[in-house]
Amino acid sequence: MNNNTDTCLRELYIELLKNSLTFRLYPEQLGILNFLRIPPWIGWALRFFVKQLDKRDLVLARRKTERDVEEGNFWPLYAQTMVGLKRLRNVQECIEDVLENGIEGDFLEAGVWRGGCAIFMKGMLVAWGDTKRKVFVADSFSGFPSHKPSIFSSESGFDKSSYIAVSEEEVRDNFRRYGLLDDRVIFIKGYFEETLIHAPVEKLDILRIDADLYSAYKAALNALYDKLSIGGYCIIDDYVMEGCRAAVDEYRKEKGILAPLRQIDWTGVYWKKE
């Protein structure tokens, strides 16, 4: 095959991967009702109702639109990622840039849920014929830690959301379904404050953090950012949330990071390390 054919096949595979991970291949999109965006008194009542439904193997969901899938602004019932197509395209563009420019390092996602974005990272390496880089998959795989008092109101109730808790084995199974689980996919299990500082990571060129909480973002940045190569990318998923925004802004100020903070969509931001 010539280069044009190789490029076409690579692009087709990448598009298919994005559409599959977001469940866009199928006509009906369902989203779990997001209790974290509902007033507490309503959320409590709905949680009780959902528990009763769960006993009967039922869920409370509503249909979503193509725009919802593009923006990643809902909690999906079936998809392996909730980041949406815009944020997946951002990951694609950042990866293509580091590969084309020979930036050294591995990929790491901190906070993976069902693994979709990390699966996409590994799929990108396969599509580009990279046989050296590793993909680190870091998560507690048990949801959020027990609630601790926080000055950020948006962080209340996170520990009550079992929807976020996805086991390591389920994430491994999702990698297997795409034929992308091998010894270059390395799992780091535990809360970031306890694990990332000891993670077997030498050098990164893609660092993506989807940690939700102020403390988790600070832990991830403190443990990993110094390992990010010049020319690599730091991608932040929850900048719309006050805790995440405070953690990122504080860290950038402490480290004197002047690289422009670029908007991806309604919640995602990123910058290129200079």
Q: Please tell me whether residues 71 and 94 are part of one structural domain.
A: no
DSSP class of residue 272?
Answer: E
What span, in angstroms and rounded, lies between the C-alpha atoms of 140 and 117? 16
Helix residue spans in the chain (DSSP H): 3-21, 40-54, 66-71, 84-100, 116-127, 168-177, 192-195, 214-224, 242-255
Tell me the one-letter amino acid at 107: F
Under 8 Å CB-to-CB from 112, ≥6 apart: which residues? 118, 137, 138, 139, 166, 171, 210
Are 161 and 51 in contact, with CB atoms under 8 Å apart?
Answer: no
Which residue in this structure is represented by tokens 């291949």?
25
Q: How deeply is 87 buried, as exposed, middle or buried, from its count of CB atoms within 10 A (0-12, 13-18, 19+)?
A: buried
Which residue in this structure is represented by tokens 């991970």?
21
pLDDT in tens, the chain (274 residues): 578 888 999 999 999 999 999 999 987 566 666 554 555 555 566 667 767 776 777 766 767 788 888 998 888 888 999 999 999 999 999 999 999 999 999 999 999 999 999 999 999 999 999 999 999 999 999 998 876 666 776 666 565 567 789 999 999 999 999 999 999 999 999 999 999 999 999 999 999 999 999 999 999 999 999 999 999 999 999 999 999 999 999 999 999 999 999 999 999 999 999 9
Q: Please tell me whether residues 119 and 158 are part of one structural domain.
A: yes
Which of 38, 56, 76 is the last residue in one of the domains?
76
Tokens (6 digits) for 30? 């369902």
Q: Please tell me whether residues 56 and 94 are part of one structural domain.
A: no
Which of 30, 59, 76 is the last residue in one of the domains?
76
The reported pTM is 0.89
Which domain range does residue 32 map to? 3-76
Tell me the one-letter amino acid at 152: F
- Residue 220's nearest CA partner among 247, 200, 240, 245 is 247
Q: Please tell me whether residues 138 and 201 are part of one structural domain.
A: yes
pLDDT of amino acid 160: 55
- Residue 31's nearest CA partner among 84, 101, 78 is 78
Q: Please tell me whether residues 240 and 107 are part of one structural domain.
A: yes
pLDDT of amino acid 40: 55
User: In the chain, how many domains are there?
Assistant: 2
pLDDT of amino acid 118: 99
What span, in angstroms and rounded, lies between the C-alpha atoms of 3 and 17? 21
